């Protein structure tokens, strides 16, 4: 079998045996031949590198950059691999590529950089959240914290840190069935700072009438930029429940503001 016959659909056992054969030749090759053989090893396994990179696509870092990082890690793994040890090449190369991609993602993927401790646990927390539980529902922050031996507050912060990779668009609707977007609440004229100050003056007494849970909900939705699904996961309720709660809180704010303006 030659490298030209190998494609991305080559069975794993065939790829493994061909890789082993190439490494066996490396030990007897001169420097020039060794480079050619290692290049063939990389070509043979490059789709594995691409597959690892795709696990992290659409999260704020260009897939081309992630693929390049994974491929460079594959090249280094091929150069360092000791074929005399009784193990498959990919059992060594996959953790190497995964580690490099995660490191690159951690260092370059944050648009808004959270605390270091949150960066370090975020991928573990997200993975635990995706896995779910035996009950077929998303695990609560306390369940994730217990499973990973973390603080519940850190788990909640890590779940909300996803928006640090890709900030929420100001054109996104504030509610699932709303025609209002975040941009509707932003000032764009030259008197923006003055208008913002006036808004704070108007909102301050109204916000003081909200209870702790209502304030927390607003802070998570508009202060931390969490989606309704993320808030629901953090609080252990459904996205629909969060949507209804936000609707009630926003309606309450509008009612209080109208009453305040009429009183004035």
- Kindly list the averaged pLDDT for each block of 10 residues, start to end, along the chain of length 264: 45 85 88 91 92 79 87 92 84 90 72 63 76 68 84 78 51 54 49 56 73 83 82 87 88 79 64
CATH of region 168-264: 1.10.10.10
| CATH architecture observed for domain 110-167 | Orthogonal Bundle (1.10)
User: For position 97, what pLDDT does the model report?
Assistant: 92
Q: Does CATH place domain 3-108 in 1.40.20.10?
A: no
User: For position 46, what pLDDT does the model report?
Assistant: 92
Do 222 and 212 contact (CB within 8 A), yes or no?
no
User: For position 110, what pLDDT does the model report?
Assistant: 52
User: For position 204, what pLDDT does the model report?
Assistant: 72
User: For position 6, what pLDDT does the model report?
Assistant: 42
- Using alpha carbons, select from 170, 186, 174, 169 the residue that is nearest to residue 251: 174
Complete DSSP assignment for the chain: --GGG--TT--HHHHHHHHHHHHHHHTTS-HHHHHHHHHHHHHHHHHHHHHHHHTTTTSSS-HHHHHHHHHHHHHHHHHH--TTSSS-HHHHHHHHHHHHHHHHHHHH--SS---HHHHHHHHHHHHHHHH--TTSSPPPHHHHHHHHT--HHHHHHHHHGGGGTSPPPTTSBSSTT-S-BGGGGS--STTHHHHHHHHHHHHHHHHTTS-HHHHHHHIIIIIS---HHHHHHHHTS-HHHHHHHHHHHHHHHHHHHHHHHHH-
Q: Do domains 3-108 and 110-167 have the same CATH topology?
A: no
Parse the chain into domains and list their residue ranges. 3-108, 110-167, 168-264
User: For position 2, what pLDDT does the model report?
Assistant: 38
User: For position 230, what pLDDT does the model report?
Assistant: 86
**pTM score, whole prediction:** 0.45
């Amino acid at each position: 079998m030659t490298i030209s016959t190998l494609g991305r659909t080559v069975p794993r056992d065939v790829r493994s045996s061909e890789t082993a054969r190439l490494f066996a030749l490396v030990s007897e090759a001169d420097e020039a031949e060794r480079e050619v053989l290692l290049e063939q090893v990389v070509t043979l396994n490059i789709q594995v590198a691409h597959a690892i990179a795709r696990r992290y696509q659409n999260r704020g870092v260009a897939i081309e950059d992630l693929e390049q990082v994974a491929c460079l890690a594959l090249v280094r793994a091929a150069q360092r691999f000791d074929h005399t040890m009784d193990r498959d090449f990919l059992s060594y190369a996959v953790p190497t590529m995964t580690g490099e991609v995660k490191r690159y993602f951690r260092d370059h993927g944050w648009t808004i950089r959270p605390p270091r401790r949150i960066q370090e646990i975020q991928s573990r927390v997200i993975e635990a959240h995706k896995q779910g539980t035996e009950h077929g529902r998303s695990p609560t922050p306390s369940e994730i914290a217990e499973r990973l031996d973390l603080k519940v507050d850190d788990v909640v912060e890590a779940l909300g840190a996803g928006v640090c990779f890709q900030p929420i668009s100001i054109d996104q609707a504030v509610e699932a069935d709303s025609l209002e977007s975040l941009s509707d609440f932003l000032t764009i004229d030259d008197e923006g700072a003055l208008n913002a100050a006036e808004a704070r003056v108007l909102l301050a007494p109204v916000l003081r009438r909200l209870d702790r849970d209502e304030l927390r909900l607003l802070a998570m939705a508009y202060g931390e930029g969490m989606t309704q699904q993320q808030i629901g996961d953090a609080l252990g309720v459904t996205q629909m429940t969060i949507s209804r709660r936000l609707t009630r809180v926003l309606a309450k704010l509008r009612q209080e503001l109208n009453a305040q303006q009429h009183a004035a």
